[in-house]
Amino acid sequence: MPIFGTRRDMLAMTALGAVAAGTAPALGAAKGEAGMLIVNALGGLENPNLALTRKQSDNPVGVDQIDVDARAIADAHASGVTAVNITLGYVGGPEEPYEYTIRTIGMWDDVLRAHPNDLMRVETAADILAQAKGTKVVTLVYGARDTEHNEAVVLRGLFERAAAQKKR
């Protein structure tokens, strides 16, 4: 049985829970708190202002360049985020899907190599939980848009493990 229905359901439950618990003012105080788990499952890691400085691509959903700079990384650290979902691969457009997906994975791997003290890729929910135990590295969850290899699979494992630990 799934923990949540759609992403929209999950966001609605999260928002209601935050309001009901009165946690909105406390979010700033939680920054840097060891063990706190904050996952940006729908956003991304980028400085959107960088895209404004170059010519628009013919494919509005295509990625020609990864817009991660010092500001994007500083913003992620300042937010206290533990993990960020990065949607990789073909979403639509004229490109050949396989080649486009491999190219975007390569671009993100280059970003990781350029910022080893700030960013790391995770493979499992356990990796995210390990990062929540006090390290300052922002973990990237490589996500896809198919039912077997998407970010929801990793996040479901994370939430199931966290729920099991709470019951103990």
**Within a 13 Å sphere around the CA of 34, how many CA atoms are in the beta-carbon half?**
3
Q: What is the pLDDT of residues 152-162, one digit of tens each?
A: 555 666 667 77
Q: What is the pLDDT of residues 124-155, one digit of tens each?
A: 777 777 776 767 889 898 877 655 555 555 56
Whole-number Å distance between alpha carbons of 39 and 8: 16
Mean pLDDT of the chain: 73
Other residues' Cβ atoms within 10 Å of the Cβ of residue 84:
24
Residue % of the chain over a pLDDT of 90: 17
Who contacts 158 (Cβ-Cβ below 8 Å, separation ≥6)? Answer: 37, 39, 125, 128, 129
Q: Give residue 113's pLDDT.
A: 95
